[in-house]
């Protein structure tokens, strides 16, 4: 996958968030998109795949930890 410009990535991510949760405000969706982009794992995914991944993880009954790694990988 080619690397998208950040503005395009955030726009597509925001659009997908609004598709997944039609009750969320656009400003909140943009904030969440920035958070998703900031995470190491989801930031390198396609924006739609990142939203779908987060939605799937958050819908699991026993959620794992979803945070940045404590130390960088080499």
- Is 24 domain-assigned? yes
- Is 41 domain-assigned? yes
Overall number of domains in the chain: 1
**What is the residue range of 15's domain?**
6-59
Answer with the residue of higher pLDDT: 20 or 73: 20
Q: What is the mean pLDDT of residues 47-72?
A: 79
DSSP characters over 4-52: PPHHHHHHHHHHHHHHH-TTS-HHHHHHHHHHHHHSHHHHTS-HHHHHH
pTM for this entry: 0.79
- Is 73 domain-assigned? no
């Amino acid at each position: 996958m080619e690397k998208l410009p950040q503005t395009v990535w955030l726009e597509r991510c925001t659009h997908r968030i609004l598709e997944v949760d039609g009750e969320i405000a656009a400003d909140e969706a943009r904030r969440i998109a920035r958070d998703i982009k900031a995470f190491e794992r989801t930031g390198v995914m396609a924006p739609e795949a990142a939203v779908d991944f987060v939605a799937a993880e958050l819908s699991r009954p026993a959620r794992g930890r979803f945070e940045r790694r404590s130390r960088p990988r080499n």
